[in-house]
Amino acid sequence: MIRTLLVGGAGRMGQALGEGLSALSSVDVVGLVDPHEPARLFSAPHFRSLEDVSVAVDAVVDFSRPDSVVLSADWCASHGAGLVVGTTGLSDEQRSRLERAGESVGVILAANFSLGAVLSERFAAMAAPFFDRVEIVELHHDGKVDAPSGTSLVTARAIREARERAGRVTAPEPTERFTLESARGADAGGGVRIHSVRLPGLVAHQEILFGGPGEGLTIRHDSFDRQSFVQGVALALAHVNDQPGFFSGIDHLIG
Amino acid sequence: MIRTLLVGGAGRMGQALGEGLSALSSVDVVGLVDPHEPARLFSAPHFRSLEDVSVAVDAVVDFSRPDSVVLSADWCASHGAGLVVGTTGLSDEQRSRLERAGESVGVILAANFSLGAVLSERFAAMAAPFFDRVEIVELHHDGKVDAPSGTSLVTARAIREARERAGRVTAPEPTERFTLESARGADAGGGVRIHSVRLPGLVAHQEILFGGPGEGLTIRHDSFDRQSFVQGVALALAHVNDQPGFFSGIDHLIG
Amino acid sequence: MIRTLLVGGAGRMGQALGEGLSALSSVDVVGLVDPHEPARLFSAPHFRSLEDVSVAVDAVVDFSRPDSVVLSADWCASHGAGLVVGTTGLSDEQRSRLERAGESVGVILAANFSLGAVLSERFAAMAAPFFDRVEIVELHHDGKVDAPSGTSLVTARAIREARERAGRVTAPEPTERFTLESARGADAGGGVRIHSVRLPGLVAHQEILFGGPGEGLTIRHDSFDRQSFVQGVALALAHVNDQPGFFSGIDHLIG
Amino acid sequence: MIRTLLVGGAGRMGQALGEGLSALSSVDVVGLVDPHEPARLFSAPHFRSLEDVSVAVDAVVDFSRPDSVVLSADWCASHGAGLVVGTTGLSDEQRSRLERAGESVGVILAANFSLGAVLSERFAAMAAPFFDRVEIVELHHDGKVDAPSGTSLVTARAIREARERAGRVTAPEPTERFTLESARGADAGGGVRIHSVRLPGLVAHQEILFGGPGEGLTIRHDSFDRQSFVQGVALALAHVNDQPGFFSGIDHLIG
């Protein structure tokens, strides 16, 4: 069991991580670090700051704010603990601090810890060279104000690059006549199209549809709630102490 | 069993109808009418023209050309046989000839005999007043050169009208920021959006997605091959002799 | 706006109803009745019991325990307020008390207020006479310990009855050889088969798949969270004062 | 362009291969070998037997009967041409003849040339170690008399083996109470369940559903018609002359 410290443990994300990680047999939550009192403690002690930590720690998980993350990086480097970070929006300087910590301990920084999302993207890149055409349909709740989703853009780029590496010529666009404009969705380059559906009730879903002569291959990922990143964090924890180094993303951990 | 004559029986459509209808226990194919020799006869005699028909006939099915359809209409009116027509592109005058035949016999003219398509549209109109938002994803083979599909436009209109009848206020469009243009598909009016996917391998598919608080309702129709209209033609045949009259569509036959 | 009183307003269900109903423009939550202090009040006063209620009320919503529901029924009858009940497990005597209240006011008792579920069942019954075969795939989270789901059994019965009413002969079971037992799922009678999928991450989902020559028609319902019953409760509130009477289910309200 | 000879070119499979392969820019169909006259020639000459072949050949494709396949193997070995075989039901002796040809030329024997099917199985094995549970829903036309499908059994085994290699403990079966027997489908071992749906209209479809905390990952493959194996045969042709050797399956060709 990896003795794990949750920095930002009183926040919404920290509490969700506490709930998910403490339920796993591979992780031992040994403390929550937060200036505020956490609503739930998951049988672990609460520390107001990293200086107060009085337990043995193998790894730190920090999904809080960028300024907290750099403090965690320094603490991990000096205590020989691995660091798993899910915070986005780091400045170049803040990222450098994480890379510096990576010289002495393992540091994993990822924007998406959902294993389903990571596998989806991997599969899409693998299938891309073998099909004439591919389109992405991403479906989200109607509170989402941007389109297309960031994930669909990343997926489209992965597909495009895989097709280019394989020297696959993109089939020409077949539609010639439009009764209504924009019906064919967004052109993400390289022949990949993205369609964004927004409906109340939905959470976050993505379908990658490949088509070839007489057959179709569809990869669908559904995120139903915030617990979807727990498995990816656990996977990162299982490997973060394998070696020192700064690693971006968890794709390299899925083999 | 309805004794049925297939006009245009040697064509691609006539042969498909012969194969499908002759397999049903409710229909007896009693003859194929066509100037050309049919490849398959389905155990029925071949007549070069309607004048040559020498068997008792309850109803005529004609999916051939408009000029043939009007001859079928005249023949049906004078022989007391019902008429089921699946031909599109009739002129006003040709349509009048069918309506005139409808004064003495039953005449059913429909653009789409797929029961799944007819039921889908009906269900969409029924669900429309009860959900905040709806979007249509229609998926077709990449040989289709127009977008969105005609069926999706008809479905969108049925939804819009049902919402208006119910006095349902359409929720405002939520997307505010576009990384790529057109990602949200076509605006079919009344808040209904249509997304057109084109991929090799696919045939003809449509999903109508309704979303409300905490739930989604999806109606999906798949047309896998031409046999999809056989059931609708059989339903029309079962009712065409119920009463004289000209009927457009088969929606009224599904109760 | 319907002035609505939430009985059991401090419970998990009452709080969810408060959140959902108070967000609608058609409903005015005028009070929460509960012996316990509600965590959230939705800008409405809290009353410890029905005797304490000091506001004008058009209708009462009660999703709490059977013994509370009968008190609500008495109160509604004497105050001329409609009653919407989502509580299950009522005894015959408790149900009689609701029926008695229905002699003077409108009373609607339903096990499922999800409009998507109610429409799904309606559509399934409508489609059933027109397709040779139908199978149900219901998918739930792996915490569900029974199979098949209650909803799928109700759906299967609705399909069976609709087919019988239409005199539709069920096609004989085609599978003849089993490499593994039980692969074809449960036999719900009348040729309807049910397949129960149990996976972590899922919430509550059901697909009704109809198949006929060359085509398929699928009705899918997804329940993503508890808010899925809010719309149905609002619909019941909109009609509960139309007339006195005891009504079971909300199917008659969808037209 | 690979100069390709179609053995069994007059049969249903040979004609389908001719249609699909002759449309590709990477393949040049240089002859059809068959004792019978082929209905379509795809601009290539017809030879009654391999002895009659009078054109330069890079590779042979044979999807005909086992006794023909061994003759093709001998011919390929003596003419330095690669061999791609899609025939099933070979005896041990017949298979040995293919392996012997593999000593001098490239020989690829596969039961399934659909790239979508091969990729599906690969993806399933890759995802298997990362999810608590997985179930397979396979859907076929109602003419299929066996259940579950052979492909789903192969997929289940691939998943089971991948989980075992990863040391993943299978979660215990959660269902405890059955209203109807068999609802949970077939137990394919290692916690993998298979559900077989049979409906008219369908062709051949398979969904592999993975579930973990808060998320789901689904891999769906649709075979719409026989052309689905053309791409895989083309891939095999592109690599069959890379090196001598006998290869089973085309999985190693997808990287």
* Count of all residues that appear for chain A in the document: 255
| Helix (H/G/I), strand (E/B), else coil: B226 | helix
* Count of all residues that appear for chain C in the document: 255
Q: Per residue, what are the HEC states of C114-145?
A: CHHHHHHHHHHHHHHHHCCEEEEEEEECCCCC
Q: Is the pLDDT of residue C56 over 90?
A: yes
List chains adjacent to chain D, taking adjacency as at least 3 C-beta pairs closer than 8 Å. A, B, C
CB–CB of B132 and A180 under 8 A? no
Mean pLDDT confidence for B84-99: 95
CATH topology of domain B115-225: Dihydrodipicolinate Reductase; domain 2 (3.30.360)
CB–CB of D216 and A231 under 8 A? no
Residue of C120, C217, C235 best to disrupt the B interface, most CBs of B under 10 A: C217
Task: Give the pLDDT means over successive 10-residue stretches in chain A (255 positions).
Answer: 96 93 95 97 97 97 95 98 95 96 98 94 96 95 93 96 88 82 95 96 96 95 91 96 96 89
pLDDT tens-digit series, residues B133-156: 999 999 999 999 999 999 999 999
**Nearest-CA distance B224 → chain D (Å):** 7
- Among candidates B110, B97, B61, which has minimal Cα distance to B252? B110
Looking at every residue in chain C, the average pLDDT score rounds to: 95
Decide which of B191 and A136 is more confident: A136
What is the sign, positive or negative, of the torsion defined by CA atoms of D108, D112, D116, D120? negative
Q: Are D136 and D193 in contact (CB under 8 A)?
A: yes
Contacts (Cβ under 8 Å, ≥6 apart) of B1: B25, B26, B27, B28
CB–CB of C116 and B228 under 8 A? no
Between the alpha carbon of residue B170 and those of residues B44, B119, D24, the distances in Å are 55, 24, 49
**pLDDT score recorded for residue A174:** 74
Other beta carbons within 10 Å of B150: 12
Per-residue pLDDT band at B128 (split at 50, 70, 90): very high
**Nearest-CA distance A214 → chain D (Å):** 4
**pLDDT score recorded for residue A175:** 81
Is some CB atom of chain B closer than 8 A to the CB atom of D228? yes
Other beta carbons within 10 Å of D185: 28
Contacts of A146 in chain B (CB under 8 A): 175-179
Looking at every residue in chain D, the average pLDDT score rounds to: 95
Is some CB atom of chain C closer than 8 A to the CB atom of B153? no
Q: What DSSP designation does D85 have?
A: E
Q: Are D59 and D82 in contact (CB under 8 A)?
A: yes
CB–CB of D203 and B222 under 8 A? no
Mean pLDDT confidence for B41-57: 97
Whether residue C148 is preceded by a cis peptide bond, meaning omega within 30 degrees of 0, is yes
**Nearest-CA distance A213 → chain D (Å):** 5
Contacts (Cβ under 8 Å, ≥6 apart) of B45: B30, B31, B32, B54, B55
Stated as kind and residue range, the H or E segment containing C95 is: helix C92-101
Mean pLDDT confidence for C118-144: 95
**pLDDT score recorded for residue B169:** 73
Residue of C114, C115, C119, C222 best to disrupt the A interface, most CBs of A under 10 A: C222
**pLDDT score recorded for residue B176:** 82
**pLDDT score recorded for residue C170:** 74
User: Could you tell me how many CB contacts below 8 A there are between chain A and chain B?
Assistant: 170
Looking at the partner chain, which of C143, C179, C200 has a beta carbon nearest the beta carbon of D146? C179
Q: What does residue B65 show for φ and ψ, rounded to 5 degrees? A: -85, 155
Per-residue pLDDT band at C114 (split at 50, 70, 90): very high
- Among candidates A222, A203, C197, D251, which has minimal Cα distance to B214? A203
Specify the pTM. 0.92
Q: Is the pLDDT of residue B242 over 80?
A: yes
**Nearest-CA distance B94 → chain C (Å):** 31
Please tell me which residue of chain A has the smallest CA distance to D122. A123
Percent of chain B with pLDDT over 90: 89
Q: From CA B26, how far away is CA C167, in angstroms rounded?
A: 13
Q: Are A63 and A13 in contact (CB under 8 A)?
A: yes
Is some CB atom of chain A closer than 8 A to the CB atom of C228? yes
**pLDDT score recorded for residue A119:** 97
CATH topology of domain D2-113+227-254: Rossmann fold (3.40.50)
Is some CB atom of chain C closer than 8 A to the CB atom of B228? yes
* Residue burial D229-249, b: 16+ Cβ < 10 Å; e: rest: bbbbbbbbbebbeeeeebbee
Stated as kind and residue range, the H or E segment containing D94 is: helix D92-101
CB–CB of B218 and C222 under 8 A? yes
Q: Which of A144, A195, A239, A252 is catalytic?
A: A144
Q: From CA D104, how far away is CA D98, in angstroms rounded?
A: 11
**Nearest-CA distance D91 → chain B (Å):** 34
**pLDDT score recorded for residue C53:** 97
Q: Is the pLDDT of residue B172 over 90?
A: no
CB–CB of B131 and C115 under 8 A? yes
Assigned token pair, C176: 């003849």
Mean pLDDT confidence for B22-49: 96
**pLDDT score recorded for residue D142:** 93
pLDDT tens-digit series, residues C155-191: 999 999 999 999 887 777 778 889 999 999 999 999 9
Between the alpha carbon of residue D182 and those of residues C183, D177, D193, the distances in Å are 8, 11, 11
**pLDDT score recorded for residue C252:** 92
Assigned token pair, D249: 């399956």
Q: From CA D236, how far away is CA D84, in angstroms rounded?
A: 7
Q: Which of D140, D195, D205, D221 is catalytic?
A: D140
Is some CB atom of chain D closer than 8 A to the CB atom of B178? no
Is some CB atom of chain B closer than 8 A to the CB atom of A146? yes
Q: Are D180 and D174 in contact (CB under 8 A)?
A: no
**C165 burial level (CB within 10 Å; 0-12, 13-18, 19+):** exposed
CB–CB of B144 and A198 under 8 A? no
pLDDT tens-digit series, residues D199-247: 999 999 999 999 998 999 999 999 998 889 999 999 999 999 999 999 9
- Among candidates B213, B135, D218, B130, which has minimal Cα distance to C139? D218
Note the ipTM here.
0.89
CB–CB of C228 and A201 under 8 A? yes
Between the alpha carbon of residue C158 and those of residues C77, C137, C162, C197, C222, the distances in Å are 33, 16, 6, 21, 19
Other beta carbons within 10 Å of C30: 20
User: What angle do helix axes A230-239 and A12-22 make, rounded to 10 degrees?
Assistant: 70
Mean pLDDT confidence for B50-59: 97
> Can you name the residues that pair with C218 across neighbouring β-strands?
B220, C209
pLDDT tens-digit series, residues D111-160: 889 999 999 999 999 999 999 899 999 999 999 999 999 999 999 999 99
Is some CB atom of chain C closer than 8 A to the CB atom of B42? no
**Nearest-CA distance B238 → chain A (Å):** 35
Mean pLDDT confidence for C32-57: 97
Between the alpha carbon of residue D3 and those of residues B191, C168, D56, the distances in Å are 55, 55, 7
**Residue type, position A194, single letter:** I
CB–CB of C218 and B219 under 8 A? yes
What is the sign, positive or negative, of the torsion defined by CA atoms of A90, A92, A93, A98? positive
Break chain B into its structural domains and give their ranges: 2-113+227-254, 115-225
Contacts of A181 in chain B (CB under 8 A): 182, 186
Measured between its terminal Cα atoms, the distance across chain D in Å is 22
**pLDDT score recorded for residue B138:** 98
Is some CB atom of chain A closer than 8 A to the CB atom of D210? yes
CB–CB of B227 and C213 under 8 A? yes
Q: What does residue D164 show for φ and ψ, rounded to 5 degrees? A: -65, -45
Q: Which amino acids of B are annotated catalytic?
A: 140, 144
**pLDDT score recorded for residue D88:** 87
pLDDT tens-digit series, residues B226-239: 889 998 999 999 99
**Residue type, position B175, single letter:** T
Contacts of D197 in chain C (CB under 8 A): 135, 137, 185, 193, 195, 209
Whether residue C213 is preceded by a cis peptide bond, meaning omega within 30 degrees of 0, is no
**pLDDT score recorded for residue B18:** 96
Assigned token pair, B149: 């599909």
Contacts of C200 in chain A (CB under 8 A): none
Contacts of B222 in chain D (CB under 8 A): 201
CB–CB of A203 and C222 under 8 A? no
Q: What number does CATH give the domain D115-224?
A: 3.30.360.10
How would you classify the pairing of strands A215-223 and D215-223? antiparallel
How would you classify the pairing of strands D27-33 and C215-223? unpaired
* Count of all residues that appear for chain D in the document: 255
Q: Where do the DSSP E strands lie in A141-203? A: 146-147, 177-178, 186-187, 193-198
